[in-house]
Amino acid sequence: MSDNTATVSLPVNVEQIQELLPHRYPFLLVDRVIEIVPGHSVVALKNVTINEPFFQGHFPGHPVMPGVLLVEAMAQAAGLLTQITSRLNGHSGSPLFYLVKVDNARFNAVVAPGDQLRLEVEQKRLMRGMGLFAARAVVDGKEVASCELMCAARSEK
């Protein structure tokens, strides 16, 4: 595989992310892409603030980022990997991928306001419209969550 990293202008900022993903506030959970090896891996950041709407109810007086949103943030980082790789390969964009399976999800620590999530995603395989990814979320060098994600390209039906 050739090294395409020189053709990617890093960091990829939130405005560029919005051109690549359909997610918007309050559900866009990636703020920046800081590393990418097209077709292989991506590292993205999510700055967690007390202004996140989910903290109002999860949990009052003890704000904790829901685990399902940690998984979603990792899935969005995987989506950015596929979209950036597709554009580097000369396509105007790849089809939208839907999350279809989460395996081996682990939540090792609480994510709270003030934390910066480092989302690390590795593409294990991509064939016939299905992608398999290994993902982990890290705060201050400590793994707070991990999982395997399977995504499927949206059919035109």
Residues forming the active site:
58
Q: How far apart are the first and last CA of the chain?
A: 33
What is the DSSP track for 65-117? Answer: --HHHHHHHHHHHHHHHHHHHHHHTT-S-PPPEEEEEEEEEEE-S---TT-EE
Parallel/antiparallel/unpaired status of strands 142-153 and 97-107: antiparallel
Rg (CA), the chain: 15
Across-strand partners of 150? 101, 132
